[in-house]
Amino acid sequence: MARINLLPWREALRKEKQKEYLTTVALFAVLAVVIWGGVHWYHNEVIRYKELRVSYIEDQIKILNEKIKEIQRLEKEKQRLLSRMRAIERLQGNRPLVVRLFDEIVNSLPEGVSLERLNQQGKKITINGVAQSNARVSSFMRKLEKSEWLKNPDLDVIEVKPQDGPKVSNFTLRFQQVVPKDEDEEGDEA
């Protein structure tokens, strides 16, 4: 009995355990590959979803940039139209001022004074004229000072030149056109 050889049985057991080990390793390798494939697929799907979101957001940004450009163009157009409206309102508001200017000048003009030239730059008015005497020019200046629409008469030049007959005075007179405030407006400001 001492001569019984247990070696083949041990070798068969060793081969069986080695086979189990290799099967388990192969099973875990397949399982690892499946898990790695699943993780890889999941990450690719996440990346694809994020790329789609980025693409969508970029498209929306382009659309919004176009809308912003359109809004800016409309704002410029609005400002241009508003400035034109203000200019028209100013012109409409100043329309009666020319009539009032000539009316006040005619009412202030004494006999013996004639006007040769009238020049207006903004609210400043320059008149060149001829008077029979210096006193008539002074009278004209006093009447201008009393006017509500014309103020600050300032005599620049007065020259006495003899003509065929009586002496005449050529003069240059400057004054300003003003718009008097209504009593209602003055009451509102107080």
148 token code pair = 């509500």
137 within some domain: yes
pLDDT band at 164 (very low <50, low <70, confident <90, very high): low
79 within some domain: no
**Mind listing the pLDDT tens digit for each residue in 98-145?**
778 788 888 888 888 888 898 888 888 898 988 888 888 888 888 888
> Is residue 41 exposed (0-12), middle (13-18) or buried (19+ Cβ within 10 Å)?
exposed
**Mind listing the pLDDT tens digit for each residue in 41-62?**
999 999 999 999 999 999 999 9
Listed ranges 34-38, 145-149, 165-169, 172-176; the one with the highest mean pLDDT: 34-38
Per the structure, the count of domains in the chain is 1
57 within some domain: no
167 within some domain: yes
Report DSSP letters for 98-153, one per residue: HHHHHHHHHHHPPTTEEEEEEEEETTEEEEEEEESSHHHHHHHHHHHHH-SSEEEE
Q: CA-to-CA distance for 155 and 172, rounded, in angstroms?
A: 6
Q: What is the pTM of this model?
A: 0.47
123 within some domain: yes
CATH number at residue 169: 3.30.1360.100
Task: Calculate ∠ Cα 159-165-169, nearest 5°.
Answer: 15
Domain that holds residue 174: 89-189
48 within some domain: no
155 within some domain: yes
47 within some domain: no
